[in-house]
């Protein structure tokens, strides 16, 4: 599965080519951006754009993902939250020979597919190819090893939108976001604390803004999953973080995979059992923050589920701001 994007002032955007200019597109109302007008002349209320010259861009490139399975590279049919929850991904090929050798099934003419467990994926190859006047920069290939593939997918999905939910641990009495490694826990902070080093992202870049430290699980005070839900019309549903924002123009996006709740609240089907609806923030009755044990650490950390209910609109915004402070780069 691939995508094409441009980078302007260090940030990714979708774009359109208009003659010798580039129209960068954002769903945020940024400085010097105007409401986007589509080909039919319709003015979008929640989409914005800016016309720039190619010289103003950092780069325009395409990005392809290929998963290595039994010695061959395959393109995924889709990279969605579903693949993380089910621990498997649907791969595709147009080679009938390879399909027969590896037991792929014909999905349509010249397309064969197979659902494969992440345990059988040995690496992820990311190919970034500069386009247009940036072609002379050369193709960049990044290999993500097996033990970091799911971490990469988490970050990849978070770039656009993800459910407001996160793993945390307590180390020496302080709360940290963390990433699990094979035998250690990598705790991450936006402060350069004692014995912390510059955080190296899953794609191998050294961050100037985040710092990390490896610790043993036994050194932790606690470890858990923190889930954020809001009460809307007497139902509790999740929240989506979109482009590192939760409240946008006093609106939020509700999220659930519960079809019964979807029918009651009128959410829209986004596919792959994802249902969403944009509502006014003022219509939210309360925020509920739930701490849940993490399955893989239950033997050591037998913490019981805890729940915090926040009803003040000001406090709800404060908790959301705190969550958004830790958006670790990919």
Please give the chain's pLDDT, 330 residues, in tens. Answer: 578 999 999 888 999 999 999 999 987 888 899 999 888 888 988 789 999 999 999 999 999 999 999 999 999 988 887 888 889 999 999 999 999 999 999 988 889 999 999 999 999 999 999 999 999 999 999 999 998 898 899 888 877 788 899 999 999 999 999 988 878 999 999 999 999 999 999 888 899 999 999 999 999 999 999 999 999 998 999 999 887 789 988 999 999 988 898 898 998 887 767 889 999 999 999 999 999 888 888 878 876 678 899 999 999 999 999 888 877 777
pTM of the model: 0.76
Helix H or strand E segment including 241: strand 235-242
Residue 27 near residue 47 (C-beta atoms within 8 A): yes
**What single DSSP character describes residue 184?**
S
pLDDT computed for residue 38 by the predictor:
83
Residues near 74 by beta carbon (within 8 Å), at least 6 away in sequence: 66, 67, 68, 91, 92, 93
pLDDT computed for residue 1 by the predictor:
53
Q: Which residue has the tokens 């395409």?
A: 62
Residue 294 near residue 317 (C-beta atoms within 8 A): no
Residue count of the chain: 330
pLDDT computed for residue 55 by the predictor:
94
pLDDT computed for residue 303 by the predictor:
67
pLDDT computed for residue 44 by the predictor:
87
Query: What is the C-alpha separation between 265 and 148, in angstroms, rounded?
Result: 37
Neighbour tally for 77: CB within 10 Å = 16
Residue 237 near residue 261 (C-beta atoms within 8 A): yes
């Amino acid at each position: 599965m691939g995508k094409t994007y441009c980078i302007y002032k260090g940030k990714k955007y979708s774009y359109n080519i208009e003659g010798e200019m580039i129209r960068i597109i954002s769903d945020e109302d940024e400085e010097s951006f105007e409401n986007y007008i589509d080909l039919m002349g319709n003015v979008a209320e929640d989409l914005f754009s800016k016309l720039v010259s190619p010289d103003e861009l950092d780069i325009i490139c395409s990005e392809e993902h290929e998963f290595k399975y039994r010695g061959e590279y395959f393109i995924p049919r889709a990279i969605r939250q579903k693949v993380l929850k089910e621990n498997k991904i649907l791969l595709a090929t147009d080679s009938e020979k390879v399909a027969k050798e590896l037991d792929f099934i014909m999905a349509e003419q010249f397309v064969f597919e197979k659902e494969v467990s992440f345990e059988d994926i040995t690496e992820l190859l990311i190919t970034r190819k500069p386009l247009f006047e940036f072609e002379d920069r050369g193709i960049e290939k990044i290999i993500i090893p097996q033990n970091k593939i799911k971490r990469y997918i988490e970050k990849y999905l978070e770039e656009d939108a993800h459910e407001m939910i996160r793993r945390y641990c307590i180390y020496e009495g302080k709360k940290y976001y963390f990433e699990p490694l094979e035998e250690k826990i990598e705790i991450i902070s936006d402060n350069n604390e004692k014995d912390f080093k510059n955080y190296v992202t899953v794609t191998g870049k050294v961050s100037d803004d985040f710092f990390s430290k490896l610790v043993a699980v036994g050194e932790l005070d606690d470890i858990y999953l923190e889930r954020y839900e809001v009460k809307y019309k007497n139902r509790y549903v999740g929240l989506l973080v979109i482009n590192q924002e939760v409240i946008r123009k006093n609106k939020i996006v509700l999220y659930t995979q519960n079809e019964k709740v979807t029918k009651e609240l009128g959410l829209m089907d986004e596919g792959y059992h994802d249902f969403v609806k944009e509502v006014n923030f003022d219509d939210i009755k309360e925020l509920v923050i739930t701490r849940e044990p993490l399955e893989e650490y239950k033997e050591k950390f037998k913490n019981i589920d805890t729940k915090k209910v926040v009803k003040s609109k000001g406090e709800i915004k404060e908790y959301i701001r705190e969550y958004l402070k830790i958006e670790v780069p990919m």
